[in-house]
Every structure is written in C-alpha cells, then in structure tokens.
Chains A and B, each alone.
Chain A
C-alpha cells in the first residue's frame, strides 16, 4: 500500500529490540493506561483528605503513619478500582476481543500486563505521596523514625483494588463498569469497618483499620512501646491473598484446550483464598493490648512488648519536667503550664523530684469503647516521681499548644499539689483548703476533665475536689493563699507531715 499512499517513507518510531517482550508489553501498557490520567485526581484527593489533616497533627511518626494508611487508601481506592475496571473492560469496549484472542500469547499474560501497568502507576502515585508525607514528618519530628507497616498495608491494598476492579471490568466489559467500580470501592471499604465490634473482630482485616477501631490515630501508641505489626501482617497477608486469588481467577475461564493453564490458575486461586481466609481468621483473634495496639497471638513477638528505650528531654527547673523525646516540642508549653504549681511545691517534704511523662494504658470496653489512662497512682517511688499523661496522648483531635497548657493547668497542676498535701479524694477540710490555696496562689483555673475519656484511675491527673465557695474551708484557703509565699512555704515545711496525716484542722491554718 506504500506506493498507492504516496507517503514519504521514514523510520517508524519503534524502540530497538533490547527490551524483553514482557518489558515491551508493560511499557506499552504503561504508556496507554487510564491510571496515568487519574493520578492527579488521586494525588489531589490525598492532599485534600489526608496530607492536610496529617500535617495538622503533631509531628509524631505514629500519628502520621496511621493517618497515611487510612487516608491514602481512601484517596487512592476509587481511582485505582475505576481505572483498573476501565482497563479490564478495554477489549470488550473497544471490540478487540477477536483480534487479541487469536494471538499466541495467553489471555492471562495480556491481562496481567494491563493490570500490572495500572498497579504500577497507582503505586508510583502512592509512593510519591508517602515520600512527601514522611519527608515532611522527618523534617518536623524530634524523635523516632518512619513506621513502614502502615505504609505497607496501604501499598498492598493497591494491587488488590486494582485486581478487583480489573476483574470486574473483564467480567462485565461495559462502559458503566468503571464508574460503578469506583463507587463500589469507596463504599465497600467504608462499610467494611462498620461491622467492627471490639478488638476481636474479623473485620479488622480491612486495610482501613490502622488502630483499634474508633480510637483513630493516637499519639500515645507506638511511642513508649514498639509498634506491633501483628494486625498489619494479617492485613498484608489478606490483601496479597486476595490479589493472588483474583488474578488467578482471571485465568479460569480459558478457551477449549486451556486445561494446562486452568489447573495452575485454580491452584493459585485456591492458595490466594486460603491465605486471605487465614488472615481473616487471624485478625479475628486479635486483642487490644495494654499499649493500644492489636496483638494477634499467632503472630505476636513477645520482644515487641518491651518498652522503647529513650533518653527523656527534661527542663532545667527546680522540679524537672521530663518528656519522651518524641514530645520534645511540647516541653516549653508543659513547663510553662506547670511552673507556677511546681514553684509552690518545690522544696516541700514529699514533693515530687521529677515530673515524668508516662505511657497511657488501654483497656477494651464494651462495644468499641476503649478506656485510656494511666495504670496505677500518679505519684510513685521514693523519692516520689509524678507520672504525667499529656492530653495529646489520648484519643481525640490534636490540641493546640495553648489548649494543652490550659488542660495541664487545670488537671495535672492540681493533681501535683494534691499529691503533696494529701488533698485527694476523702481529704480533710484543712487538706482541701491548703490544696486550694496553693492552686489559687499558682493561679490555677477551674477544674475540668476532657470529654469522652474514661480514666481507669486517678493517674490521669484528675483534679481533686476543691472546697465549695463560701464554706469555711474556702475562706481558709483564700486566707492561706493571701499569705506571702515564703510564709506559706515555711508553714508548710513545718506542718506538712501533720497536714498529710490529717492532724491539722481548719482553725490551725494561718
């Protein structure tokens, strides 16, 4: 036809033959893949729904990693499933079925190349998002390193979603399959978490689950104790099994005489289903451990239960305030909030020698409720050390520095004073008065407790009950608070032991 066409012959742009056939096929599919066009959508969704939220969180690796797992997955799920379904339905939509069917290369190989290209683009976009999020976190975080398991779970989700979308497209090659797959991916993922009840739920195998459900990204997890990869291992196993099963199933409807392919494909599908089923069963045996993570007995490594060794960052105050280095950024605000109270109690007999940040303890409650707080008393040891729990270690939205300082002033400050004066629950009127006086002197604000959290003990730093305004104890407190600091201090040094023993009455207060 050359002569008739009358065109000037010039070299046809085909790459030289140094690439192997599989590589050339993948290259062609990469160049002509719908996922490439949907990458900006996925990245934009990631930026809107995940990156901005993650950046608003404290720069703690655990929080950022868990936000990444759930957020990136939701951002990429719909585009990946939709693009894969579009590519899977390509032969049917474009009426090339007969042309490609009569070629020598098996249909499965053809489909795997298309699926692989879709997955590759999704992975490129996702890994780019991980790199940016983790890169920014690396610049901001004061301690620790990236958690790779949450990133791996989301990464393993992409081939699975791609395989599911592709299979849907190949099975029903209509133009509506891709939009339906897009919507279905979002809702199936979202609904997969709705059936989770407590920590022992098979549904925890859903890749969206990055933590005990309903806790969400929690700063207290994987800082004082190692990150437990038990659930992520089960999730990756499930996703890998699902991917293998779906890809194997693609080869099952072979043409006549394709038994040689169908048998191994059936075996691959069965192996994938077995792996996925095993992972679901393992996830069902998971249990919330004391450190806020899901422990699966069959996958659990006891070495992971040992606390992380770290050198705390401490203030240079008379009573040092020491925090986990991951929370180093919180130290100025913490010291600023507690300094007035610490000044009042410094040098008193029984005053804490150090305020030391402690790990939160988690306890599964009914349904999806989880009790989070300090296990045991807030003041321990001799010389006494006050164990501090920052509110940001508890589930809930991230706090601003000023909100954190206010919470410390209203909760931890009074608790520290009460620990010195014995003014906790069941305190005598004199103890209550002295405690209230020291808090007044330190200008402690009204008491309060964060909503929605149930501290298992008083270790969280709950403020002691103060005297009612207008009561004799309240009047005594105001009188005592009005004394010069040195006078208060001198009196307390002399009488604190008697006050703690309950032998001081209101009338004996100066």
Chain B
C-alpha cells in the first residue's frame, strides 16, 4: 500500500479539519470527493507532507514522513498540485518545470528528458518557451500538473486539478490520470463527481473531516438508486451518502 492512514486528525485552532480518518490506497486513481470545507485539502496536504498531522499514523510509500530522512525519500517520489498553485510569472514553462525537477532532486542528467516528457504530456510542448505570465489560467493549471508529474511520482496528489480546464482538456487529463494510475497511486481531490466517475477506480467521500464513504464509483452510484438528487447516478449517490451522513 502506498498510502496507509490510521486515525489521522488535524486541527487548526479549535477547528477540527480532519478527524480520525482511516484510509489505505494502492496503485490506481483514487478520488476524494466532498463538499467545500469537508477536509479534503487538509488531508491531501498532510499526505503531501506540507503539514504534519495533529495525531494519528501516516505512512506513505512504506515510510514514516515524521522523520527527516524518510520524508525526503517520500518527497523525491511525490507529485503534488495544490488547490491554488502558485507560479513565477517570469519563468518560462520549461524553466518552471525544470525548477521543480531540480527541487525534487531528479538526477541532473535526467532532467532535460524528464522536463520534456512532462511538458509534452500536459500538451504544453508548443508553449515551452512562453513566459508563465502570458498563459491562460487553464494553461497555467497544466503547468502545475506538469511540475507535479515531472519526477514520474509514485504518489501523485492533485487538489482540484481540472478547475479551469476546458472540457476537451478535462477529457485528455482523465486519460493522463488513468495512465499515471497504472503504476502509481493517484489521489484526486475534487467536487466534480463526473471526473471521479470517469477516471477513478476507488473513491472516498469526506464530510466534516470524516470519511463517510469508501468504495468504487459503481458502489457510490448504487447508493443513489432511488435516493438523492442529481442528474447522473454518481451525483445521486454522492448526495444520498452525504444526506445519510448528516442525518
């Protein structure tokens, strides 16, 4: 298992963002669904080693991120796209991705090929020399994805990755997710349930800091039969599970 979480909690002041979460995930695409404020981003940030948990046990790629050495090893194998990724407007696409390749300690000799591959996979080959300030929001999002996958991560964490992408790009992005999920654990946090239905092999639904559902997208859709609201079966399952959790 690449992700093993047991009783994980995280609080910010008096607010409990993540409460006693248990989760295990192996290779494949894992969808993390939930309404705004459910704790998805906090959980993802803990998995990304951006913030430490308040309590609980977290093992990533078979290592404990609480210690410096293992954490560094995890980070070498980690890709992370935050919910609101930042950019350096003066960098070109290639420079920005190369910058992250260097920070991820990819061997120098492999960097040019890794950058080229990441830029190509995100469809930015034609804009590789363009300054980030000249790109649209969707393209900048793709640059964020490129930096996340430049090291061919074993654990890829994506927080709202399709926000700002046009429908065509979202379809292509899902293909990229499926491809990455062949040999890595990809955890996608989103509240766009159609993304989950199309790309994920497993899904968890969070509400109020807790995981209230864990199964396949088919299981989630099945929960909505005869219950819930929404146009698609998985949307109805989503609303039905949430309603049940809150009742």
B67 touches A257 (CB 8 A): yes
CB distance from A252 to the nearest CB of B (A): 15
B105 touches A21 (CB 8 A): yes
Cα(A104)–Cα(B71), bound, Å: 8
| CB of A403 closer than 8 Å to a CB of B | no
Give Cα A1–Cα B90 distance, bound, in whole angstroms.
24
Are B128 and A104 within 8 A (Cβ)?
no
Chain A facing B: main interface SS:
loop
* Interface size counted on chain B using CB atoms at 8 A: 65
CA distance A103 to B120 in the complex (A): 22
Residue on A nearest B71 in the bound complex, by CB: A257
Contacts A1-B169, A28-B99; A99 near B75 (Cβ below 8 A): no
- Cα distance A405–B134 in the bound complex, in angstroms: 65
Interface residue B52 (Cβ < 8 Å from any Cβ of A): yes
The answer to whether B125 and A28 touch across the interface, beta carbons within 8 angstroms, is no
Q: Count chain A CB atoms within 10 A of each CB in B78, B123, B144, B168 and give the residue with the most.
A: B123
**In the complex the two chains form, is A1's CB within 8 Å of B68's CB?**
no
Separation in Å of the A300 CB from the closest CB of chain B? 47
Q: How far is the CB of B61 from chain A (nearest CB, A)?
A: 13
Question: Which residue of chain A is the closest to B102 with respect to CB atoms?
Answer: A25
CB neighbours (8 Å) of A152 from chain B are none
Task: Count A-B contacts at CB 8 Å.
Answer: 159
Taking the complex as formed, is A195 at the interface, i.e. its CB lies under 8 A from any CB of chain B?
Answer: no
Max count, chain A CB within 10 A of own CB: residue among B76, B94, B120 = B120
Interface of B, secondary structure class, is helix
CB of B103 within 8 Å of the partner chain: yes
- A17 within 8 Å of B by Cβ? yes
Chain A residues with Cβ below 8 Å from B147 are 99
* Known A1-B121, A9-B120, A16-B112; contact A94-B50, beta-carbon cutoff 8 A: no
User: Does A507 lie at the interface of the complex (its beta carbon under 8 Å from any beta carbon of B)?
Assistant: no
Instruction: Report, as a range, how many residues of chain A touch the other chain.
Output: 35 or more
B88 touches A32 (CB 8 A): yes
**B105–A17 CB distance below 8 A:** no
Q: How far is the CB of B136 from chain A (nearest CB, A)?
A: 12
Contacts of A257 in B (CB 8 A): 66-68, 71
Least distance between B56 CB and chain A CB atoms (Å): 14
Question: A2-B125, A96-B88, A102-B49 in contact; A31/B80 too (CB < 8 A)?
Answer: no
Let me know if B86 is at the binding interface, CB within 8 A. Answer: yes
Q: How far is the CA of A260 from the CA of B67 in the complex (A)?
A: 10
User: B-contacting residues of A (Cβ < 8 Å)?
Assistant: 1-17, 19-21, 24-25, 28, 31-32, 90-91, 94-105, 110, 255-261
